[in-house]
Structure 1
Amino acid sequence: MNRISAMSPSSFSKSGIHHRSEDEMKRIFLDRLLASRNNGIVSSGKSLEDEDEEDEEDEEEESYGQRAVAQKDRDLEYSLRLEHLEQEKYRLKRQIEMMEDEYEQRMLELQSDLVNYKRSLEEVEGHHKSEEREKTELINQLKEQNQRLNMELQLSSQRQEDLENQLNSLKSQFHDKRLTMRDNVVYLESLKNEIELVTRRKDELEKQIAHLFRERESMSQTLEESTSKVLYMERQTREQHNLIRNSQRDINELTANNQNLMERLECLNRSYISSGGSSANMSIMNEIMEISSTESETLNKKSLLLKYKEHSSEDDDMTLNSSDVSQDDYHRQLREELISAYKQIKTLCGQIRESGHCYYSSTDSNYETGFLETAVAELNSLVIRDLLSHSQDESVEGSKKTNKEMEIEIHKVEELEEKTKRDIESLDLELKMKKQDINSLQNQLTLAELKLLSAEEETTNLKNDMSSVHLSKDQLIKQAWEVRDDAVKKKNEAEVSLAKERINLMQINSQLMEAIQQKIENISEARGMAK
């Protein structure tokens, strides 16, 4: 039944279309089964005949009469076996027919069950739709009822003033009456005290509601501010990440340039050692100028990065500007020292040339010439290595400083984002608590309104009692008790209906809050995926 109920209508209709073909296939299968059994019977008969033939060959020595009797016995046995097999075949046919009838009945039952399930499903869907319509109507009715209750609250305040005036007039009238009406006067005074208590309680509740509304507005404003802060911090983090990527790319470019310069300087050193002269000096000068140009380009890039970073934070701007100025001064001094060293090397080369002229005249000039060339080569290699190592250290230190500063800023931004998220969650909880307080205060207001209505009914009853002053004391007491019983009964009915409506309203509010919370979670998840 479970499998048939889980079938779809389309699959069931297809099975109904191919029902006849399935019956025909079953019948063909049964016919083949019976034919195979008959063949088995015939084959068994043949095997038995073969055995008999072998027995006859063995018993050829016996008499012909005994063989005839044995043959008759075998024929009887074969006939009995054939009858038994025919009976079994007939029984199997009957079973197959019964199974087909049961199968058809089962299919009809399943079809009827499927039709019933479809009807029940349609009924359930219609009932569900009607319930949804009733829920929407109930929500609209509750909204209208809330508006109506607010209007009635305003009217009740006006009625309260009228009732106070009426109570004052009734009090003056009761003082003028006889002693038999003193009990009613005392009862009126107690009613007045109750009305005053109810009015004070109503005023307090109205003040609390106004305060809660103000707090709710302030909470919503803080929530909006926090969301705007979160968006600003997210945008700032994205900018910081982009800046880190750009700085990392520049660092990689600088390292590649430094490696190229090292290779070129090594080549120049080898070429200078192999061939001396003015051409080597000019190549050294050109290389130093190229190094200074590459350093100026790197400094320009760093200055651009620093200018971009000035817009993000002022503290970083001050530190980076100071480091930029110090690096400019240091590189300027270093360049001046290199130029002065180059001039000194050039003068040394001139002195070497002059000593070359004297080389042929003096015998000791051979030793002096080799010593000066080695000194110039060592001086050149040391200057270039110091320059490259210093520039590389500065670039690495600057990149490390910028990376550390950016990591610190990113960590601060993430902490601020987590803090804002926690603040938002706390604000949501506070809003939920405030809404619950508002609902409880509204319930208290409804109870106060019911008490006012009961007080109005009692005052009308007292007016009727005043009109019936000519009645006896026992009749007045009896009438007062009846009125009181009716009022208590009405009050109980009103409280029961109010409790039911309150429960329904709380359920609807909880459903709305769950839906709002789910939407907020979906929005936060979407933002997380977008990040």
Structure 2
Amino acid sequence: MDGWSITSRPGQPSPVRAGRLPRVQHHWSWTATAWSPGPAPLRIPAASRVHPLRHAGTGGLGMALEEELAMLTGERDDEEELPDLEMPVVGHNADLLSLFRQKEKDLVLAAKLGKALLERNQDLSKQYEKMHKDLNEKLEHLEQEKHELRRRLERREGEWEGRVAELETDVQQLQCELELHQVQLREADRDKTKAISELSEQNHRLLEQLSSHLVTTPQGHSRVVALLPPVKLLFRAELSLRQIRPGRLSSQQSTDTDSHQSYLRTGAAEVEKQLSTQVHSLRGDFREKSMSTRQHMTGLETLQAEIKMLSERKMELERRVHIMLEENELLQSTVDDFRERTLVLEKQCQEKDLQLRQSQLELQEVQVSHRQLTSRLEELSEEHSLHGLTPHPSSLLCEIEQSMEQEEQEQEREQLRLQLWEAYCEVRSLCSHLRGNDITDSALSTDSSMDDSSETSSAKDVPTGSLHTGLLELRRLTQNLLDGNESTGSRRSDEEALEEQVRKMGEELREVRELHEAEQDKTRSGQGELLQLHNQMALLSVEMCSLREDNQRMRVMAEIREPSEQLQSAIRDRDDAIAKKKAVEMELAKCKIDIMSLNSQLLDAIQQKLNLSQQLEAWQDDMHRVIDQQLMDKHQDEWRSAPPSLSRAHGSQSSRRAHRISDQDKRLFSFFKKN
């Protein structure tokens, strides 16, 4: 007959303090009862012949313990009432044999219950491993999301910086072009006002001449202007001729007058020609000035359209920059939220681990007390059975010894009641603690009730079924706590490994933060270099503006030069522009190479960090394997080096027990090896 037993010292109940349960070490072992002669028999009441375990289910062991306690408490009254001196020995032995068979069945049921509990523990361990694996996968997924968000943030920052640089260069270029167009507009306005003033003066002068002479056609005007001096001369000549008397003119005077008239005619013709050429030249200048003013007006309209387009483009770029800034702030807020979530998860994990450890300790203490009580009950049942198999003594000395033994048994029963009461109080306090109630009052009441145990021993009798119900409730609360905390709570080594992994993850997070700060410093230095490059680009844009002004100036000058000189100057300008463009492209290529090198360094650092984390995980797995192997070897050595006294006392039962341990004990040791 196999059963559960733990050696305990009688008369030494485990103390229960307020708010604190005693720390005990537990172990599992199998013992067997042996047949041995006893000094005096024990009477079995008739009410205990039919055991209630035959109709019990999963709680058969608890009901058997309660019935056994009820039997022990009512044994004394039955001994006084029933005159068992005249009972035949054969019938009494038959009852004892039936009782032992029933107990053997009870112990078989207890073994099945233990096996079911072990299977339940194995299922819980599998669930714990599965939940631990899910937690690791979630943490890895969060790390990947964090890394992806960081890469997106860096990519967005790079794009934003590139766009800002492009916008700055465009703005500077547009400002230079705007200034150039403004200068050209001012020059065109000055030329226009000057030309208009000159033309207005010339028109005013011509109008005065035309109004003075009242000539409608240009030919008559020129003829009048050409004939003015000869007319004046003729008028003077006529006046002079009028003064001279007729008939007194000599031949010489007549020739002089003819020559003078011919001279006046030739001078008038020359004056007419000069005036006609000047009028034609003035008309050509006027046409050219009108064409230039029209060109300037069209240029002004195009410049105004370009200025409007550039202002719209500037507003669009500012809007895009604002959107990029908002996206950057949103990504930063998401990163902060992920950090806060990781911190909250770490705190919750630590709190759950602490609660789980406390519940495990309390459950272990209750299990130890329960095992002590069951072992004590089995010892009493063995003694009772041994006493019942011995023949009835007929001498007075045997009766005296029997009475003394009965008194000792009564004391032992009282101690057993006290221990059962203590176990019941512990179970009740654990249940209240697991429910979240205050256990200080219950512990104090337990201590006070233990102090006056000699006076109120009858009040400490455990109600029937209360201990079993308390254990079931404790089991249910522990299961709920284990399910709520997302762990199985029976393998401290796995919890410590989880804590170690959490701590390692915290260290890795700190390392990643340091690496992120270093990369941020690098990016800041890269941003400084980019700013320098932006400044260089601004200088180059200014140079390009100056080159454009030179080109414009050269174009203006080329309109006056010959075609060959204009072609040569254009070729030289083109060569200079190509050389400067190549230099700028070289600078841009160098900048791109620097940025690519920085990105490659960042990727190398991330890859190195991933390799280090993989090596660390592999090292942790190796250490866990080595520790498990060492603990297994240690427990196997302890199991082999068992005390020789125990092996000598139970030599006949050790062979049967060795056959029945096998799988269940190995699972049990693998389950409790790290606690």
Q: Give the TM-score range, shorter chain.
A: 0.3 to 0.5
More contact order relative to length (CA 8 Å, sep ≥ 6): 2
Q: Give the TM-score normalised by structure 2.
A: 0.34
TM-score (structure 1 length as normaliser): 0.41
Of Structure 1 and Structure 2, which has the larger fraction of its residues in helix? Answer: 1
